[in-house]
Structure 1
Amino acid sequence: MGNMLIFGLGYTAKHLADRLRAEGWQVTGTRREAVEGAIAFDDPAAVLAAIGEATHILSSVPPARDDSDPVLDHYGAAIKAASLQWTGYLSSTGVYGDVGGAWVDESAPIGSGRRKARSDADLGWQSLRGDVHVLRLPGIYGPGRNPITRVREGKAKRIDLPGQVFSRIHVDDIVAAVIASFEGPAGVYNIADDLPAPQHEVLAHAARLIGVEPPPLLSLEEADLSPSALGFYEENRRVANGKAKRLLGWQPQYPDYKSGMAAILAGILNGDS
Structure 2
Amino acid sequence: MRVFVAGGTGVLGRRLVPRLVARGHQVTATTRSAARRGLLEELGAEAAVMDGLDATSVGEAVARARPDVIVHQMTAISGKPDIKHFDRWFATTNRLRTEGTDHLLAAAAATGVPHFVAQGYASWNGIREGGWVKTEEDPLDPTSTGEGAAALRHLEEVVIAAGGAVLRYGAFYGPGATDDQVELVRKRQYPVVGNGAGHSSWVHLDDAADATVLAVERGARGVFNIVDDDPAPAREWLPHLAACAGARPPLRIPVWLARPLAGAAAVAMMTEGRAFSNAKAKRELGWEPRHPSWREGFKEELA
TM-score bin (small chain): 0.7 to 0.9
Pairing partner for 2:167 from 110, 135, 138: 135
Aligned twin of 2:214: 180
Change (3 A) 1:141 1:241: same
Taking the TM superposition and a 5 Å limit, the aligned residue runs for 1:82-93 are 82-84=111-113, 86-93=115-122
Does residue 1:215 correspond to 2:245, yes or no?
no
Q: Is the 8 A contact 1:95 1:118 kept in 2?
A: no
Letter matched to residue 109 of structure 2:
K
Change (3 A) 1:156 1:68: closer
Q: Select between 209-218 and 196-205 the one with higher mean Cα deviation.
A: 209-218
Aligned twin of 1:55: 68
Aligned twin of 1:270: none
Q: Is the 8 A contact 2:7 2:31 kept in 1?
A: yes
Does residue 1:106 correspond to 2:136, yes or no?
yes
Q: Select between 42-51 and 158-167 the one with higher mean Cα deviation.
A: 42-51
Q: Is the 8 A contact 1:156 1:215 kept in 2?
A: yes
Q: Is the 8 A contact 1:15 1:175 kept in 2?
A: yes
Change (3 A) 1:110 1:149: closer
Q: Is the 8 A contact 1:6 1:58 kept in 2?
A: yes
Q: Distance in 2 between matches of 1:5 and 1:162?
A: 37
Q: Is the 8 A contact 2:196 2:234 kept in 1?
A: no
Change (3 A) 1:196 1:75: closer
- The structural deviation recorded for 1:239 is 0.6
Q: For residues 121-157 of structure 1, what are the alpha-carbon distances to aligned partners after superposition, in whole Å with 9 as ceiling and x for unaligned?
A: 21111112x3x11111232222233354543354432
Does residue 1:204 correspond to 2:239, yes or no?
yes
Runs of 5+ consecutive residues of structure 2 not aligned to the other structure: 38-46, 76-90
Q: Distance in 2 between matches of 1:27 and 1:226?
A: 40
Taking the TM superposition and a 5 Å limit, the aligned residue runs for 1:153-168 are 153-168=187-202
Change (3 A) 1:5 1:135: same
Does residue 1:29 correspond to 2:61, yes or no?
no
Q: Distance in 2 between matches of 1:125 and 1:142?
A: 27
When the two structures are superposed, what TM-score results if normalisation uses the length of structure 1?
Answer: 0.81
Q: For residues 73-103 of structure 1, what are the alpha-carbon distances to aligned partners after superposition, in whole Å with 9 as ceiling and x for unaligned?
A: 3343221243435310111226643235432
Does residue 1:39 correspond to 2:49, yes or no?
yes
Taking the TM superposition and a 5 Å limit, the aligned residue runs for 1:251-262 are 251-262=288-299
- The structural deviation recorded for 1:16 is 1.9
Runs of 5+ consecutive residues of structure 1 not aligned to the other structure: 267-273
Aligned twin of 2:284: 247
Q: Distance in 1 between matches of 2:95 and 2:216?
A: 32
- The structural deviation recorded for 1:50 is 2.6
Aligned twin of 1:229: 266
Aligned twin of 2:159: 125
When the two structures are superposed, what TM-score results if normalisation uses the length of structure 2?
Answer: 0.74
Letter matched to residue 98 of structure 1:
R
What is the aligned-residue identity percentage?
29
User: Number of residue pairs matched?
Assistant: 263
Change (3 A) 1:96 1:203: closer
Letter matched to residue 6 of structure 1:
A
Q: Select between 174-183 and 114-123 the one with higher mean Cα deviation.
A: 114-123
Q: Distance in 1 between matches of 2:132 and 2:234?
A: 16
Q: Distance in 1 between matches of 2:130 and 2:184?
A: 27
Q: Distance in 2 between matches of 1:181 and 1:84?
A: 15
Aligned twin of 1:73: 102
SS of equivalent to 1:11: coil
